[in-house]
Copies of this chain bind each other. A is one copy, B any other.
């Protein structure tokens, strides 16, 4: 029970980390659903199952809690961004990157919504990330795409517009999932429907930039459900 505790976190700090994780999860959900202003510390505390005053013991202000949530999302996004660099083949790099971003939209829709909200409202909290980290990442990836084009491995499209298209499409499945659910007769996309969407996005992009011929993907064609 206590043999290996010596070098490990104490039960106290473990409990603290667990409570913080609980609050952050609740905060992510509430901020995503109501926006920064619409979210109240009371609602977040309720969803976390603790009194409001206790929430303020762990996060002194609503804004610091929000910042923490946004930074977590950005980290997840950055991890996925690295899948772009895992290989130098445009077909595999784009396929992996699109797939990774689609998976994030499926598994972290709330985080994506918080991010969208932040940008929509002129990024009052994470403007510096946009200018530094995101700007640098974009510039280097554009250089890679330009090289692929120069090497004749892709059609000569505008790289920046391509990146925006990938971001927009993949995040759409998180940010607008309420609209997608509604148009799907009120039900969330099934796994099969989502895989169809993912394959279609990959197929259109790859064919669109001349890497693969059009319409040859794994077209099962069935919308299922």
Number of copies: 2
What number of A residues sit within 8 Å (CB to CB) of B?
65
Distance of A173 Cα from B154 Cα, bound (Å):
24
Which residue of the partner chain, among B135, B156, B176, B201, contacts A219 with CB atoms under 8 Å? B156
Closest-CB distance, A208 to chain B (whole angstroms)? 3
User: What residues of chain B lie closer than 8 Å to A74, measured between beta carbons?
Assistant: none
Contact A119 B178 (CB under 8 A): yes
Distance of A213 Cα from B209 Cα, bound (Å):
9
Distance of A176 Cα from B37 Cα, bound (Å):
19
Q: Per-residue CB proximity of A29-47 to B under 8 Å, as 1/0?
A: 0001111111000000000
Contact A157 B200 (CB under 8 A): yes
Closest-CB distance, A52 to chain B (whole angstroms)? 18
Interface membership of A81, Cβ < 8 A: no
Instruction: Please indicate which of the listed interface residues A130, A156, A165 has the most CB atoms of chain B within 10 Å of its own CB.
Output: A165
Chain B residue, CB-CB nearest to A198: B161
- Contact A122:B36 (CB < 8 A) given known A155-B215, A221-B158: no
> Which residues in A have some Cβ–Cβ distance to B below 8 Å?
32-38, 113, 116-117, 119-123, 127, 130-131, 134-135, 138, 154-158, 160-162, 164-165, 167-169, 171-173, 175-176, 178-180, 182-183, 196-197, 200-201, 203-210, 213-217, 219-221, 223
Across the A-B interface, the 8 shortest Cβ-Cβ residue pairs: A155-B215, A210-B214, A204-B208, A168-B172, A208-B208, A37-B38, A161-B200, A155-B214
